[in-house]
Chain A
């Protein structure tokens, strides 16, 4: 069973998810103030401006916090065994909710402050999920 997928039409996040099909991690910037906007929106939540542009992240960042989920009754996650959810602070200044993958044991091999880089997990729906693995 697939994980829950982003659902469309949803115009604020559509460009973000379209870019994932090419394994591009994107975010928005206010052209006038330089404010970083994330999650994606049609306006800058600091000032209401709609003068935003999309940029591509290098996909490198730091774990801000995490938890290892031992119990999820959702059928897509129930068989995974313990897995890590995390907030990652990208170097460009935005924070994304994600999973930490590529570690032998998530209960012992993940720390706050750890450097990570993006790793894509392609979905049957055509989009790809940005996950992160130790850099």
Chain B
């Protein structure tokens, strides 16, 4: 029986439409998206009394953002755990609203990673920036790029379970099909000068150049500009909002890191997932929409397994069935906006997982799954083969 608890709901969303936005700052993106998400909810700027920020703007995170926005919130949460920060924020907002600490929580994200020419995936070895740490001192000298970090997970998954590049490629194929139905994703691929803005085949993925064995170019997310905002409100506020509420009915948070003798093919989702399922009283096979952080194909496969959509090691067979597409009779549909692979990845994609899950449960997606009722958003932050976070949010409509 799906949980009927109604502590907090997503009532307003906005995704910054551009993926190439020269001359705009992350703070401007955050403020513009905040205003449009509040308008989507039918709420006012001054209704916001909770501010959630992953420290992605200029200045001193929560303080600087409150001043820039012109808000005096009762709750400030600046949890910054990489790309999954927004799943953590949604979990915290639900907790804070249920405790009566705030009524209208605002989550914002803004990034100009593309225009800043940040080589997020392919600049390995650190640049000697920031304070030295034990971890940086033990990792910087070997030239491990972010892409190679995830590739080591893929390599180990292939070794332990016989997973193939053909199977991983199916994740890229399904999400590209969704991207081609999303005008903003098509514009994104155009603006970022993708070669071949069309649906792709498994063979196209395998023919794309190897970036870090065994990951090919078309298994890696884009580096875009972008941002967005989510408004989360109490049941009393949600009742009077413009759109139907999308309820947060379960959440889980976890960390994982490389350990002596540890299993690289298991992610933090194996800890955050069960807590979220239990709170929501939902089983993975009931989920219509899976918004899973697709920094790389392997990220999705690992997390589908860890969230319990299939057994550990069976991800290759699971994604090989035609279940990931929006129009498949099988559950779940995956990343129906086109994902980080083909629509939007400015560095921390977690917020977009909440946006598209909400669109699906409202019936507003460009690849709408008929009668979608339950969705999971699972964000991954940090680096999968070293230290990372997992944030799981389960969403339901009435």
* A residues adjacent to B (C-beta < 8 A): 3-10, 12-13, 16-17, 36, 38-41, 64-74, 76-77, 80, 83, 85-87, 89, 93-99, 107, 112-113, 129
| Shortest CB distance A98–B (Å) | 6
Whether B125 pairs with A77 at a CB distance below 8 angstroms is: yes
> Once the chains bind, are A3 and B124 in contact (CB under 8 Å)?
no
Q: Are A71 and B145 in contact (CB under 8 A)?
A: yes
Interface residue tally for chain B (C-beta within 8 Å)? 46
Partner of B148, one of A5, A9, A36, A85: A85
Report if A76-B138 is in contact (Cβ < 8 Å); known contacts: A64-B156, A94-B260: no
Whether, in the assembled complex, B209 has its beta carbon less than 8 Å from a beta carbon of chain A, the answer is yes
- Could you show 23 A-B contacts with beta carbons less than 8 Å apart? A3-B140, A4-B126, A5-B141, A6-B136, A6-B137, A7-B137, A10-B137, A39-B138, A65-B155, A65-B156, A67-B148, A67-B155, A69-B143, A69-B147, A71-B211, A72-B123, A85-B152, A87-B264, A93-B260, A94-B260, A95-B259, A107-B213, A112-B155
* Contact for B143 among A8, A36, A83, A87, CB less than 8 A: A83
Question: A113 to B135, alpha carbons, bound, how many Å?
Answer: 25
Contact between A8 and B152, CB atoms less than 8 A apart: no
CA of A95 to CA of B261, assembled, Å: 7
Q: Which B residues are in CB contact (< 8 Å) with A10?
A: 132-134, 137
Interface residues of B in 137-164 (CB under 8 A from A): 137-145, 147-149, 151-153, 155-156, 159
User: Which one of A17, A73, A85, A95 contacts B142 once the chains associate, using CB atoms below 8 Å?
Assistant: A85
- Considering the chains assembled together, what is the distance between the CA atoms of A41 and B153 in angstroms? 25
The reply to whether A7 and B211 form a contact with Cβ atoms under 8 Å apart is no
Top-4 shortest CB links A-B:
A67-B151, A7-B132, A6-B137, A4-B140
**Distance, CA A97 to CA B259, complexed state (A):** 11
